[in-house]
């Protein structure tokens, strides 16, 4: 072999290694990630359509100047599902929104939709009921709860490897590169060009969606960020010992206590734990908080209603504080409608890369 041919042979050998690595990563894990990305794009459109198609769940039937008390609703649900169940109240965000109560019980998990003016239940739906609920569970955890979230976090590393190997395989010898997709030389050639060009153009955008989704899905990633920053993880405060005697405060009294700390700011969520040794968490939506549900916490004693801790979102540990930006970045709310459109098309592109990759392998495999 001549001296000039040796570098060419070496490059061809390395290219075969990169190609095999890219191919088998895609066939083993990549198609799952592509399905998750495609579901993310579908959810961008399906969630507002779901609200429009089910007004009995999302639109309040009555309107009143003052909302009904929350304590009777809590007592009614606790009698049905048990006092050890977890109840999370989501107050209405607009004038015609229903009040949502997220229930986590042994025999049922889902959302109960209540008219905020009368307290009457308008309907309920389990976490996996309906297309949107099933698609969200599959998208966020592969229907495997915490195990699925950990797998998706590991899948983010696999996608990064696929992105690097795909970029190496695409890298042209001459610049500027050609972005042409040839459609006149058959379906196989057209899909090959589309796979290469689409992967390079949308690769980094898809990487942002994959990385942000993994960050939210797997909590140890946030803890690792705080550890690397040398900060202590911010958690729920420990409760003081109960004061003997006295009547437990109502949910509405605890809401009033939280509102005293932030009088002009709305409540994003009110989380009532099922265990008596855990504090009640009220998430406040401050004007400078980019998180659409608010990350500022007011912690209350579940029996006395005493405020046992206040954590502004800007004072959380770096790993937890990052969620304020990562969550709206992932769902497309940080940049408004333009980012939602970009999120939708990046999910479609991710699904398209998975489909074209499998198709190309199937057509080019040895007989």
Domain check: are 76 and 208 in the same one?
no
- Which of 51-55, 141-145, 218-222 tops mean pLDDT? 51-55
Rounded Cα–Cα distance for residues 143 and 145 (Å): 6
pLDDT tens-digit series, residues 312-358: 999 999 999 999 999 999 998 888 889 999 999 999 999 999 999 99
What's the confidence (pLDDT) of residue 163?
92
In a domain, 196, yes or no: yes
Whether 336 maps to a domain, the answer reads yes
- pLDDT surpasses 80 at 305: yes
pLDDT greater at residue 303 or residue 187 = 303
If one counts every other C-beta atom within 10 angstroms of the C-beta of residue 199, the result is 23
The Cα 296–Cα 276 span in angstroms is 22
230 conformational bin, left if phi > 0, alpha if psi -120 to 50, beta if neither: left
Section 241-266 average pLDDT: 86
- For residues 117-141, average pLDDT: 93
**Which residue is associated with the tokens 């206590």?**
257
* Run of H or E including 168: helix 145-170
Structure tokens at 226: 């705080």
pLDDT tens readout for residues 78-99: 999 998 999 999 999 998 999 9
Question: Same domain for 219 and 239?
Answer: no
Give DSSP secondary structure letters for 300-364: E-TTT--EEEEE-GGGS-HHHHTHHHHHHHHHT-TTHHHHHHHHHHHHHHHHHHHHHHHHHHHHH
Point out which residues pair with 104 in neighbouring strands.
86, 109
Mean pLDDT along residues 40-67: 90
Say yes or no: 151 and 287 in one domain.
no
Please identify which residue in the block is written with the tokens 């390079």. Answer: 200
Give the closest residue to 301 by CA, choosing from 254, 262, 252.
Answer: 254
Whole-structure pTM value? 0.88
Question: Is 214 a domain residue?
Answer: yes
pLDDT score of 217: 86
Structural domain count, the chain: 2
What is the rounded average pLDDT for all residues in the chain? Answer: 90
- For residue 109, the enclosing domain spans 70-119+235-315
Tens of pLDDT, residues 98-123: 999 999 999 999 999 999 999 999 99
Together in a domain, 244 and 114 = yes
Q: Look at residue 120 in the predicted model and tell me its pLDDT.
A: 95
């Amino acid at each position: 072999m001549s001296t000039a041919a040796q570098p060419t042979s070496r490059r061809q050998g390395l290219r075969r290694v990169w190609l095999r690595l890219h191919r088998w990563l895609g066939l083993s894990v990549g198609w799952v990630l592509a399905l998750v990305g495609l579901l993310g794009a579908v959810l961008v459109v399906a969630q507002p359509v779901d609200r429009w198609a089910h007004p009995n769940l999302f639109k309040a039937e009555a309107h009143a100047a003052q909302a009904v008390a929350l304590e009777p609703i809590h007592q009614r649900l606790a009698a049905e599902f048990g006092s050890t169940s977890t109840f999370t109240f989501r107050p209405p965000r607009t004038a015609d929104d229903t009040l949502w109560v997220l229930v986590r019980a042994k025999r049922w998990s889902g959302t109960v939709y209540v008219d905020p003016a009368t307290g009457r239940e308008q309907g309920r739906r389990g976490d996996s009921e309906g297309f949107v609920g099933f698609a969200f569970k599959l998208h966020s955890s592969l229907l495997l709860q915490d195990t699925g979230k950990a797998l998706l976090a590991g899948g983010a590393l696999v996608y990064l490897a696929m992105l690097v190997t795909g970029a190496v395989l695409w890298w042209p010898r001459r610049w500027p590169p050609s972005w042409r997709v040839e459609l006149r030389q058959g379906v196989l050639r057209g899909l090959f060009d589309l796979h290469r060009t689409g992967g390079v153009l949308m690769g980094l955008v898809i990487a942002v969606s994959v990385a942000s989704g993994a960050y939210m899905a797997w909590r140890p990633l946030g803890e690792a960020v705080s550890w690397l920053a040398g900060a202590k993880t911010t958690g729920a405060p420990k409760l003081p010992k109960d004061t003997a005697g006295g009547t437990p405060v109502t949910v509405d009294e605890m809401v009033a206590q939280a509102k005293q700390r932030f009088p002009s700011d709305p409540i994003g969520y009110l989380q009532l734990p099922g265990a008596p040794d855990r504090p009640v968490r009220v998430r406040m939506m401050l004007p400078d908080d980019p998180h659409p549900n608010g990350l500022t916490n007011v912690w209350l004693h579940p029996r006395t209603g005493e405020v046992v801790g206040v954590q502004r979102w800007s004072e959380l540990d770096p790993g937890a504080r990052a969620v304020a930006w990562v969550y709206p970045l992932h769902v497309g709310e940080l940049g408004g409608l333009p980012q939602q459109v970009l999120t939708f098309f990046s999910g479609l592109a991710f699904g398209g890369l998975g489909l074209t990759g499998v198709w190309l392998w199937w057509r080019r495999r040895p007989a």
